[in-house]
C-alpha cells in the first residue's frame, strides 16, 4: 500500500543540544534503514519549512503505524497521512 506522509518537526527550543543530536542521529539511521529496505521509498524536503513529504510502500496500515510510531522524532512530529492509489491516466505502470 502506498502512502504520502507529511511530517513537520517541532523540537522544543530549549532542548539540550546533546539530546537533540542523539535523536537526529537515531532518526537518520532508522529512516535510511527503511529506505534501504524499500518501505520508505522517497523523502523530499518542503522548502522553507522543517518538514518533509515522504512516500511509503508498506504491507498495510498497521505497518505504517508501527514505522511512524517508532521514529525517534515521533514525539515532536505533526504527521498527516494520505493513502494513495494509482491514477488511471498515468503513463507508466510502475
| β-bridge pairing 2-9 and 51-57 | antiparallel
Q: Is the pLDDT of residue 94 over 80?
A: no
> In CATH, what number does 2-84 get?
3.30.70.1060
C-alpha cell at 87: 491514477
Q: Quick one: pLDDT at residue 93? A: 63
One DSSP character per residue, 13-44 reads TT--HHHHHHHHHHHHHHHHHHHHHTSEEEEE
Single pTM value for the model: 0.91
pLDDT one-digit tens code per residue, 3-52? 999 999 999 999 999 999 999 999 999 999 999 999 999 999 999 999 99
Amino acid at each position: 500500500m502506498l502512502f504520502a506522509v507529511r511530517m513537520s518537526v517541532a523540537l522544543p527550543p530549549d532542548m539540550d543540544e546533546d539530546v537533540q543530536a542523539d535523536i537526529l542521529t537515531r532518526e537518520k539511521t532508522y529512516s535510511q534503514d527503511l529506505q534501504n529496505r524499500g518501505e520508505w521509498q522517497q523523502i523530499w524536503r518542503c522548502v522553507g519549512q522543517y518538514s518533509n513529504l515522504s512516500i511509503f510502500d508498506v504491507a498495510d496500515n498497521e505497518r505504517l503505524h508501527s514505522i511512524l510510531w517508532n521514529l525517534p522524532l515521533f514525539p515532536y512530529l505533526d504527521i498527516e497521512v494520505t493513502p494513495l492509489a494509482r491514477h488511471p491516466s498515468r503513463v507508466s505502470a510502475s
